[in-house]
Amino acid sequence: MSGATNSVAYHLDPLSSQLFGLVARPRPIPEPGPDQVLVRVRAASLNRRDLMLMDGTYPVPTAPGVVPLSDGVGEVVGVGANVTRVAVGDRVTSTYFLHWIDGPQRLSLVREQFGANHDGWLAEHLLMHQDSAVRVPEHLTDAEAASLPCAGLVAWSALARPLPVEPGATVVTVGTGTVALSAVQFARIHGARVISVTSSPEKAQRLQELGADETVDRTEVPDWERVVLDLTDGEGAEHIVDAVGLETLPKSIAAGAYNAQVTLIGAFPGGEPVTDPFAGRYLSIRRIAVGSRTDFEAMNRAIVAHGTRPVVDRVFGFDEAADAYRYFRDGRPFGKVVIQR
């Protein structure tokens, strides 16, 4: 198979006149090196960071001509001589960061990311080091399995680390992005009570179907933190998964109980610094980035045990990649936008 030119990949070329700078080019199918795994891609999915990488607002610069997308799934079709973690025929995805295998996050471990400065999943084939390979739960469709590495794992990390959410604890999720949707599912896996903040009755209904116990419509009640306090007899919630950013941080803090954990996942745009964000409350804030391979594998075990399925909004064909990006940007999806071969 080496040297064949029948494998197509999309490359990010900001100077191209193609929509979103996505240029499809044939390239030779690579031959795996001794520690590498060659994957035939079946599906890939979009995250907010994939739009940020295009407009230059992502903290990691995009490598020129990189193949985008951190999330995908495929079948192993070739392995190098030293590969033991996976075998030909396995269905795998990749870690988000190439080098964060286990333990706490370190700057040196998160510099290299698929679809940013290392070729990602918007291709017919992907080559990765065996350390990046993660088997996906069997009960998931390809579209669902392609939804796990970024938004799924960061939601898991928010609720399982450093201490797992305790049964009966109250978890607040903010929004209906894919991080928040996964957080609702994982909070329920932990046996938590879930209060979800959203912006319409339709989304509230869908959040309840997904597992939210209570919903607050922030367009009707902008002071949603007060509703959280009312629903918790004035105590506040033990966990707040804030997947929006500094804009919602003061409300997330105000919704927190003493000793609550507020987990900041949303990107930080520039702007005015927040003054006195704690407002006298006694709680912890941490900012997290996705998770390690060990976290990913723990999440997958929980997904298998509970039969959890990521929420998929819409699936596009491989030759409709630009349409998928446009729908993801403009179509207000509820769940993942997937590109499938």
Ligand X SMILES: NC(=O)c1ccc[n+]([C@@H]2O[C@H](COP(=O)([O-])OP(=O)(O)OC[C@H]3O[C@@H](n4cnc5c(N)ncnc54)[C@H](OP(=O)(O)O)[C@@H]3O)[C@@H](O)[C@H]2O)c1
Give the other-Cβ count within 10 Å of 73's Cβ: 29
Q: Tell me the helices (H) and strands (E) count for the chain, helix number first.
A: 9, 15
Q: Is 213 exposed, middle or buried (0-12, 13-18, 19+ CB in 10 A)?
A: middle
Cβ at position 31, least distance to ligand X in Å: 33
Closer CB to ligand X, 9 or 207, in the complex: 207
CB of 79 to ligand X, least distance (A): 29
Query: CB of residue 193 vs ligand X: minimum separation in angstroms?
Result: 19
Nearer to ligand X, 167 or 269 (CB): 269
Q: Which is nearer to ligand X, 9 or 227 (CB)?
A: 227
Crossing angle (nearest 10°) for helices 153-160 and 178-189: 40
Compare residues 87 and 221 and give the one whose CB is closer to ligand X: 221
Say how far apart CA 217 and CA 213 lie, in whole Å: 14
Helices (H), the chain: 48-55, 142-145, 153-160, 178-189, 201-210, 224-231, 249-254, 293-306, 321-330
Q: How far is the CB of 178 from ligand X (least distance, A)?
A: 5
Q: Considering the complex, what minimum distance in angstroms separates the CB of residue 212 from ligand X? A: 11
Q: How near is the Cβ of 108 to ligand X at its closest, in Å? A: 17
Q: Give 86 or 186: the residue with its C-beta nearer to ligand X.
A: 186
Closest residue to ligand X, based on beta-carbon distance: 177
**Are the CB atoms for 128 and 94 separated by under 8 Å?**
yes
Q: What is the DSSP letter of 245?
A: -
Q: 31: which residues sit within 8 A by CB, 6+ positions away?
A: 1, 2, 38, 78
**Min. distance of Cβ 202 from ligand X in angstroms?**
10
Contact between 338 and 309 (Cβ < 8 Å): no
- In terms of CB distance, is 176 or 340 closer to ligand X? 176
Residue 18 or 284: which CB sits closer to ligand X? 284
Other CB atoms within a 10 A radius of the CB of residue 260 amount to 24
Binding residues for ligand X, per CB under 6 A? 47-49, 150-151, 154, 174-180, 197-199, 203, 218, 243-245, 247-248, 265-267, 288-290
Q: Which of 209, 18, 120, 189 is nearest to 198 (CA)?
A: 209
Between CA 14 and CA 22 the distance in angstroms is 8
The nearest distance, CB 100 to ligand X, in angstroms, is 11
Sole residue written with tokens 């707040």: 240
Whose tokens are 């890939």? That residue is 44
CA distance 191 to 268: 30
Between 175 and 256, whose beta carbon lies closer to ligand X?
175
Residue 78 or residue 335: which is nearer to ligand X going by CB? 335
Please report how close the Cβ of residue 221 comes to ligand X at its closest, in angstroms.
11
